[in-house]
Each structure stands twice: as structure tokens, then as C-alpha cells.
Copies of this chain bind each other. A is one copy, B any other.
Amino acid sequence: MSTHPSLIARYGKDEAPALARLNPFVEQLLSHRSVRAYLGTPVSDDALATIIAAAQSAASSSNLNLWSVVAVRDPARRGRLSELVGNQAHVREAPLQLVWLADLARLRQIARTLERPSEGLDYTEMFVTAVIDAALAAQNAAAAAESIGLGTVYIGGMRNQPEAVAELLGLPPETFAVFGMCVGHPDPAHPAAVKPRPPQHVVLHHERYSNDAQQTGLDAYDRNMADFYAEQQMNVRGTWRLHSAKRVSGAESLSGRDRLVEALHALGFKLK
């Protein structure tokens, strides 16, 4: 049995699971790559409606639909967003920025209009639920966008300065921009690569969590990522493990996100 090429791209040939066949749907998911170079061609209204229909087809906890998304096409606003997320050029250049919101405001207002109590929304649980709802919707959106030939990349930098993002997008209290997402036609002059992931046994545990199983997998992953950094001519010093550890060395490595709790309080979340 020969291993499917998409699995080799994702895991390297030594660590790819030995599956010969993937259906076209799974193959499409496996082909995901983060695109950071876009053509100027706009994303059509039809494409956007398709992407949103996919997003809304993801599960939502108790069907509460605790998320919203702001579609930003205006070049000036994209430019301002680009500054707020740490001067990422692709946020300015991609014709469409989708800003995914954890949204407790809608249900708060529904309860108010019905003159019903809604103290449940004051709890961290409901914030977490809204973040999850937004993430599930966004992942369906990203997959759908890729399936119609568009490229995407998530923009976690939307959490660098949450209050400024909220002001720019006119967000009401108890909404929060969880992340952004560039959407556009990939520039063929700058093709993106499939990024290797750790071997399955690093993330997949059977019956109970196993730490031991992870260590050999991480050795293999460091080797695969070293090859990837070289191929992509990425200027990464040291192993994936070292690079990742540096990313979380302290408050100063979080690009302002060490004050997330303070920002969420300022945005009206009670986080009880």
C-alpha cells in the first residue's frame, strides 16, 4: 500500500499514516496552506455568501449562535486593521478581511427585550462558548473559501489591541474580535506551502493522556521542520521546539496580549 501524497506533504514520508486513499473532501482539507500573498481581485458577493453559509453550518453550542463576523473590504479600514495587528502587509493587501467575533451582545439584547434575566452571560463559560462557536464557524469558512479557489490566513494579531479593533469596527459591549482572516485570490507568483505537522501520536492519545508517546514524535518533528525551514528559506534559528518555546518565554513575547483579561473587562465581559 502506498501512502497518499497529501499525507506525505503533511507529515513527511517517515511519519505519514499508511492510508492509500483519501476522498476528495478530505484531500481538500489536507491541502490547507496559509496564504500571505494576494492578488487585488475582489471576492464576489456570491463567494462571501457561500463562505458564510458554510460557517453557519458548523455546530453551535445549544444553537445559541454566539458569534458574528464583520466583513471589511474598505481599503482604508483594512489598512488601519493592518497597523493594529502588528503591520502585517497581507491584512492591508487581501481584498477581504473577515473579523470573527465572540458575540454575547445579541443574546444579551434578546433577553433584555424579553425582560428576562441573563446573568448566565456574566460567566467565563459563556465567553469560552462564544470563542468556540466563532472558531468552529471560521474553520468551516476557511475550508469553504479554499474549496472555491480562495486563500486564507488566520490573524491572531487581532487580539494585540482589542479595544482599538472594537472601536474601528463599532463593536458593542460584550463582543470581541477573536481573530481575523484574510480572504482573497492567492498570488501565483508567491505560492504557499503545506506546513508539516507533528506525527499523529504526538497529538492523539488512546483512552488516557500519554506523555511518553510524544517525545519520539517531537524528535521526528524537529527534523521535518528543519527541512521545511530550509526548503522555504525561512530564517528560523534552532529547532521547532526552541522556536516555539521562545514564542512563550514571557509577557513581552505576547505582542500586547498579556493584557487580554484587562481588555476583555474593558469590552464589557464580566468573566465571572
- Residues of A with Cβ closer than 8 Å to B? 7, 10-11, 17, 19, 22-26, 28-32, 34, 46, 48-50, 52-65, 67-74, 77, 101, 105-107, 109-111, 113-114, 116-121, 123-126, 128-129, 131-132, 135-140, 142-144, 147-148, 153-154, 156, 159, 169-172, 175, 178-179, 195, 197-198, 200, 202-211, 214, 218, 240-242, 244-251, 253-254, 257-258, 260-261, 271-272
Contact = CB atoms under 8 A, between A and B. Distances in A.
A271 B136 CA distance: 23
Top 10 closest pairs, chain A to chain B, by CB: A120-B248, A135-B135, A170-B208, A25-B147, A125-B257, A139-B139, A17-B49, A111-B245, A56-B197, A119-B250
B77 A50 contact: no
Main secondary structure of the interface of A (DSSP, over half): helix
24 contacts: A10-B56, A19-B46, A26-B147, A29-B54, A52-B200, A52-B203, A56-B203, A61-B156, A63-B240, A73-B207, A105-B211, A111-B249, A114-B241, A114-B245, A118-B245, A120-B251, A120-B258, A121-B248, A125-B159, A131-B131, A136-B138, A137-B203, A169-B205, A171-B209
A218 B110 contact: yes
B144 A53 contact: no
Give this chain's copy count.
Answer: 2
Contacts of A170: 208-210
